């Protein structure tokens, strides 16, 4: 499956991988790639078969940022609307997202990675908020992401000085989740995506949204959001399936299927014995 020559799309077992494919330009984002990426993120968010999204780059680079060699004739505001769409689509995508980085990730390319839920990089990866060196300010959500991830002072250091840092330094700043060797990063990301894809999709989507929103909410607002989300979780087949799997000492099989008001609800909520599995009256899962 392809979204065009500059963006490759691959589906395997519920994991969709988007590969930026302009290796001659270190996967710099031109107008065609911006549009393809926006469309691909929109499609991934609407496809119920997608359980995890991986974003990576071809040819030994992740992304060298926006391609400034061919600015095109579109009005700057139109260009920025596309960036806004991409940042919001990625942030609000209802599935876990992983940036797999080997090589450079700079400018908008780095912020594209930071917009993902997890960042896995190789030791040879390098990062820079290069904007100020180009006479520009942050975009693709960098002004919002950086302070939340590293604090205001370090965010100013990275943005104003536009330093280049390596993967270990980025890891120490909590800008990279894991650093993996070049020869094992593919297997590591495959395993990570597999574990995330096996999780309860509705519950993971709501947990991701709660965490994203919680950074800007009061405790009271966060608790209210948690209560609403938990009510939705109990209306899917996944919560009773988890209880049944726990009782039967097996792995749960999560589907995210709505299970209210039909025969399927009773069936999915029952174990092999046909008895609905529930936590004890105090809401705890007792050791079997």
Residues 135 and 31 in one domain: yes
Residues 240 and 169 in one domain: no
User: Span 87-109, mean pLDDT?
Assistant: 97
> Which of 126, 138, 112 has the alpha carbon at shortest distance from 54?
112
pTM of the predicted structure, to 2 decimals: 0.83
The total of other beta-carbon atoms located within 10 Å of residue 74's CB is 12
Banded pLDDT at 138 (limits 50, 70, 90): very high
Residues 98 and 231 in one domain: no
In a domain, 64, yes or no: yes
Q: Residue holding tokens 């090589």?
A: 103
Residues 6+ apart with CB under 8 A from 46: none
Tell me the pLDDT tens digit for each residue of 125-135.
999 999 999 98
Pairing of strands 126-128, 118-121: unpaired
Residues 118 and 251 in one domain: no
Q: How far apart are CA 39 and CA 21, in angstroms?
A: 16
In a domain, 281, yes or no: no
Which is more confident, 251 or 79?
251
Residues 205 and 165 in one domain: no
User: Span 51-73, mean pLDDT?
Assistant: 91
In a domain, 2, yes or no: no
Q: Check which CATH number belongs to the domain holding 141 and give it.
A: 3.90.226.10
* Boundary residue ending a domain (155, 180, 197): 197
What domain count does the chain have? 2
Environment class of 85 (CB within 10 Å of its CB; exposed 0-12, middle 13-18, buried 19+)? middle
Coil, strand or helix at 98: strand
Q: What was the pLDDT predicted at 15? A: 98
In a domain, 280, yes or no: no
Residues 219 and 81 in one domain: no
Residues 84 and 161 in one domain: yes
Decide: 180 and 196 in contact? Cβ < 8 Å: no
Least confident of 60-69, 112-121, 150-159, 225-234: 225-234
Residues 74 and 206 in one domain: no
Residues 145 and 243 in one domain: no
Least confident of 50-64, 68-82, 127-141: 68-82
Decide: 25 and 57 in contact? Cβ < 8 Å: no
Residues 205 and 147 in one domain: no
In a domain, 278, yes or no: no
In a domain, 285, yes or no: no
In a domain, 276, yes or no: no
Range of the domain at 224: 201-268
Residues 242 and 146 in one domain: no
Residues 111 and 207 in one domain: no
Q: Check which CATH number belongs to the domain holding 208 and give it.
A: 1.10.12.10
Helix H, strand E, coil C: the string for 220-245 is HHHHHHHHHHHHHHCCECHHHHHHHH
């Amino acid at each position: 499956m392809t979204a065009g020559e500059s963006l490759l799309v691959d589906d395997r077992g519920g994991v969709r991988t988007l590969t930026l494919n302009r290796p001659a330009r270190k996967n710099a984002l031109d107008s065609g790639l911006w549009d393809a990426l926006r469309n691909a993120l929109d499609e991934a968010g609407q496809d119920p078969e997608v359980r995890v999204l991986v974003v990576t780059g071809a040819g030994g680079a992740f992304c060298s940022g926006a391609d400034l060699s061919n600015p095109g004739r579109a009005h700057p505001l139109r260009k920025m609307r596309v960036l806004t769409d991409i940042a919001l689509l990625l942030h609000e995508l209802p599935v876990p997202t992983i940036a797999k980085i080997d090589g450079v990730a700079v400018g908008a390319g780095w912020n594209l990675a930071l917009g993902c839920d997890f960042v896995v990089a190789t030791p040879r990866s390098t990062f820079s908020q290069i904007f100020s060196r180009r006479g520009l300010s942050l975009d693709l959500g960098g002004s919002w992401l950086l302070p939340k991830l590293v604090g205001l002072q370090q965010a100013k250091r990275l943005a104003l000085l536009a330093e280049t840092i390596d993967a270990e330094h980025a890891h120490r700043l909590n800008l990279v989740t894991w650093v993996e060797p070049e020869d094992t990063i593919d297997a590591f990301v495959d395993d990570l995506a597999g574990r995330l894809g096996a999780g309860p999709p509705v519950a993971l989507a709501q947990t991701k949204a709660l965490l994203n929103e919680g950074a800007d909410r009061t405790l009271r607002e966060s608790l209210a959001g948690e209560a609403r989300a938990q009510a939705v979780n109990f209306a899917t087949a996944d919560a009773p399936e988890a209880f049944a799997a726990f009782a039967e000492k097996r792995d749960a099989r999560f589907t995210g299927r709505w299970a209210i008001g039909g025969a399927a609800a009773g069936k999915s909520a029952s174990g092999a014995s046909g008895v609905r599995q529930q936590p004890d009256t105090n809401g705890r899962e007792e050791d079997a």
